[in-house]
Chain A
Amino acid sequence: MPLSLSDPNWYPIASSEDLPFRHVYQGQLLGRELAVWRADDGNVNVWENRCLHRGVRLSIGINEGQELKCQYHGWRYANRSAGCTYIPAHPADAPARRIENRKYPVREAYGLIWSAANDEKPFAPFPGAEGQSWFALRPMPVNAAPEDVVAGLARLAPDDQPADLLPGLTVRLGEIVYFVQPVDAGRAVIRGLLPETPADALAALRHHNEHLTHLRDRLERAAARKPAPEPLQPIYEKVSADLATMPDIAVPRGNTLNVVVSRKWQSADGVIGFELADRDGKHLPTFQPGAHIDVHLPNGLVRQYSITNGPGDLLSYVIGVKQENASKGGSKVLVETVREGDVLAISEPRNNFPLRRDATRTVLIAGGIGITPLLSMARFLDKSSLPYELHYFTRNGESVAFKSELDALHGAVHVHTGLARDAIRGTIDQVLGPHQFANHVYICGPGAMLEMVQETAARLGWPDEAVHFEYFQNDKTIDASSAFDIELARSAMTLHVPAGKTILEVMREAGLTVPSSCEQGACGTCLTTVMEGEVDHQDVYLNKSEKASNTCMMTCVSRAKSARLVLDI
């Protein structure tokens, strides 16, 4: 039977030993090249050996532990999902589009790494696999057609004890099982397993290696006399149409997914930790440091929570929720009624708080529950050995959340407890110091604290683009007294926005589907490009320079100063 690119069988593609710490192994299966690497959490990744950006082999990339970094432009891809988390050429942007490398199924078993060309067949142990502690022989590459290699192996059997041909190019000779890895139409690798580790392992490896070398020589001599089979021609799948263009400001709106609350615990006084996992144990979508998810609460509300995870940690998302006494029914529902085992709908991660990884100094300042996105950032910087300082302000020692996670970091982590307002200001002043080239500060915490850091930073000469923040909520009173017209350029529609109604409401009444989430100007979901007119910004999402640019707005709270606004909708 000729080899096919869509052969659904599982084949061994490497020995477990081929994947030492932080290595990337170049594997091959059915004409395709594979980048095979083990992450620090033990997970083995089998990806198409090609960066989606410019086609450079990922097997020459750098295994950073939980992310693989391409050699050409430093793009980073996450363990498990193969999703791109960082594009160094645009350090201030979160890669808004979902860039994900092609990956193949993988299983590690019997000292071998197994993969298949597609997901059609679940992995099944070979007959007789269970109950032994298998020992992998040295692989033997052979330049001959895989089916000829199987036949050659079968001929090694003594007359009185014929070989046992198993499905999936497998031959059992006595107690030894040989798998033929189909590299290409004319190339194969013999991978053998002994049922247990021999007393003299080295001698056994040498003996079998010698034995297989003789077989290889015979098979290659025979193959040289035959016409060479046509190599398989793997197809590089096209990237999705939206990846082929270069959008300016994207308004990403992912689908929701259902997750199960796999753990709920008191992380600190006033902070409840929630661990959210896929119901079938699959990995969750790629996120970048600073990203948040929308959580759809049982009472119909939607709230945003930052992901605290480190790089490539996709088996669950961990969020921290503040226990508030007088909450407006958001966090309160989560804290009081959601239990372990409950199912929640969440959005795909979105990032309004991207972390630049091109700073010479990164200062992370957290107040209270604001630790959550900064913990994620610190973990990413930590794993890439980039310098950072994390300053975490809390009311008292009991309210320090995620303590063991913070203890596991290697960087400078400072916890400041019980400081009064003036003392906090003094500490921040000291921590920031005068601004220097490529210094960046990230703040997350209560509104008053954000303003304090912003003021201090401005006084010390930090430019806006070096001060990064994310508000939880918009505390400002919205002034909805103006009335104006909006012209929707792409929808070819002009609508009147009366006093007391938001742009978002007016658009929805006109039958348009427009994304929104918090509807208080804090989450960035309804970000819209402004083509003409002067915006009356009332949100806390855009920073000063973005507001001043007058090129974008949040339609849920912001309005017009001019009589007319032209929007790119």
Chain B
Amino acid sequence: MPNAPDPITRNLWHVVAATDELPLGLVETTLLLDTRLALTRGNDGEPVVWLRRDEEQGDEIDAGTIHDRLPVRTAYGYTWTCLGTPADDLFPIPEFAEPDRVNMSCGSIGIHVSAPRAVENFLDMGHFPYVHTDILGSEPHTEVKEYDVEVSEERDEVLATKCRFMQPRAAKSATTAMEVEYVYRVPHPFCSVLYKSCPEDESRRDVIGIFLQPMTEERCRAHLLQSMIDSTSTITDLRRFQQTIFGQDKPILENQYPKKLPLDPRAETPIRADKSAIAYRRWLSQKGITYGVIPQAS
């Protein structure tokens, strides 16, 4: 029997699907926190989520007949639900509303690792030359320069700023190597948002979000959001780019042991480049998250 999720995790909004990809009138199934869910969209286009019983993937269903509905939010192109008592709001990404951005969901990738391990990988720059060779980094330029990390009390999120890295091809629209500057936010225990210098417009930033759906403690689905300033690439190009990146991360993440994220500072060996990961681990620990992590023995 799986462990019951901690109350903090249970009361969070969790991503479950790209709203556009939910079929109208047909059942889609998924797993969230070891709980089987069924999803569909009614004729009004609004997603409906409920605890799956004997429904099968692909069954026809009339959304109007579903009564025991779970709470639902749609945000950033995705459908979110909650198994407990949800907070009013999901974390903000104000850039999403800017009219000239290309917003898109870039697919959902299953990864056999805990959601917090996947978040930590998203925060990590040191692996760029080794895992995303010749795209997000390339040897010999391997240095992770000093950057700043803070946990914002007010917004309850981890914030890493002034992160710089030498990248051969930082984005689809980049043609030459450049030092890119990143800002990372972790506004939700299983979600992170990245702002990176935009090759097309120096004054603005491309936004990439990763929303992890914790299916079990050791399995997740990564849902990707891109909100870009890019006038030339097609949506297919942009999606392919992000899928290449995540396709490269997946085999590394699936070879990580233990699969749950250890919160004991002595479980692994941090270096200065891991400042954001250290802050993230402490933040999870302080919040009392126990799902998908190995809590620090008290």
Contacts and interface: CB of A to CB of B under 8 A. Distances in A.
B142 A53 contact: no
A55 B258 contact: yes
Given A88-B126, A246-B275, A239 B269 contact: yes
Interface string B246-277: 00000110011110001011111111111100
A100 to B, nearest CB: 10
B136 to A, nearest CB: 13
Given A71-B252, A73-B130, A246-B278, A89 B143 contact: yes
B115 to A, nearest CB: 16
A52 B268 contact: yes
Contact of A88 (B142, B272, B275, B278): B142
B266 A241 contact: yes
Contacts of A21: none
B139 A358 contact: yes
A90 B143 contact: yes
Contact of B142 (A54, A72, A74, A239): A74
Interface in A86-110: 87-92, 99
Nearest to B120: A54
Contacts of B142: 74, 88-89, 91, 357-358
A52 B129 CA distance: 19
A72 B130 contact: yes
B131 interface: yes
Contacts of A92: 143
B144 interface: yes
A236 B259 CA distance: 13
A328 B161 CA distance: 53
A468 interface: no
A89 B255 CA distance: 21
Given A73-B130, A358-B140, A90 B265 contact: no
B143 A245 contact: no
B127 interface: yes
Contacts of A99: 269
B256 to A, nearest CB: 5
A244 B271 CA distance: 9
Interface in B110-128: 125-127
A360 B142 CA distance: 12
Contacts of A90: 143-144, 271-273
A49 B262 CA distance: 17
B178 to A, nearest CB: 12
A548 interface: no
A91 B143 CA distance: 6
A246 B272 contact: yes
B162 interface: no
A71 B271 contact: no
Interface in A73-128: 73-74, 87-92, 99
B131 A72 contact: yes
A238 B271 CA distance: 16
A92 B273 CA distance: 13
B240 interface: no
B278 A54 contact: no
A56 B266 contact: no
B141 interface: yes
B267 A236 contact: yes
B256 A56 contact: yes
A52 B130 contact: no
Contacts of A386: 140
A89 B265 CA distance: 20
A358 B256 contact: no
A438 B139 CA distance: 11
B135 to A, nearest CB: 16
B268 A55 contact: yes
A50 interface: yes
B126 A73 contact: yes
B268 A54 contact: yes
Interface string B131-163: 100000001111110000000000000000000
A431 interface: no
B267 A57 contact: no
B269 A243 contact: yes
Contact of A359 (B129, B140, B272): B140
B131 A238 contact: no
Contacts of A240: 266
Interface in A235-291: 236, 238-241, 243-246
Contact of A55 (B125, B127, B256): B256
B271 A245 contact: no
Interface in A342-380: 357-360
Given A90-B272, A91-B142, A72 B252 contact: yes
B273 A245 contact: no
A531 interface: no
A55 B130 contact: no
A71 B251 CA distance: 11
A546 to B, nearest CB: 16
B129 A88 contact: yes
Contacts of A360: 140
Contacts of B252: 56, 60, 71-72
A57 B143 contact: no
A89 B277 CA distance: 14
Nearest to A88: B142
Interface of B: 125-127, 129-131, 139-144, 251-252, 255-258, 262, 264-275, 278
Closest 8 CB pairs of A and B: A88-B142, A89-B273, A89-B126, A244-B265, A238-B266, A358-B140, A89-B144, A57-B255
26 contacts: A49-B257, A52-B269, A55-B258, A56-B252, A56-B255, A56-B257, A71-B131, A73-B126, A74-B129, A74-B142, A88-B126, A88-B143, A89-B125, A89-B142, A89-B143, A90-B271, A91-B143, A99-B269, A238-B266, A239-B269, A243-B266, A244-B266, A246-B270, A358-B141, A358-B143, A438-B140
Interface of A: 33, 49-50, 52-57, 60, 71-74, 87-92, 99, 236, 238-241, 243-246, 357-360, 386, 438
Given A56-B257, A99-B269, 13 more contacts: A52-B268, A53-B269, A57-B256, A71-B131, A71-B252, A74-B130, A74-B139, A89-B142, A91-B142, A245-B265, A246-B274, A359-B140, A438-B140
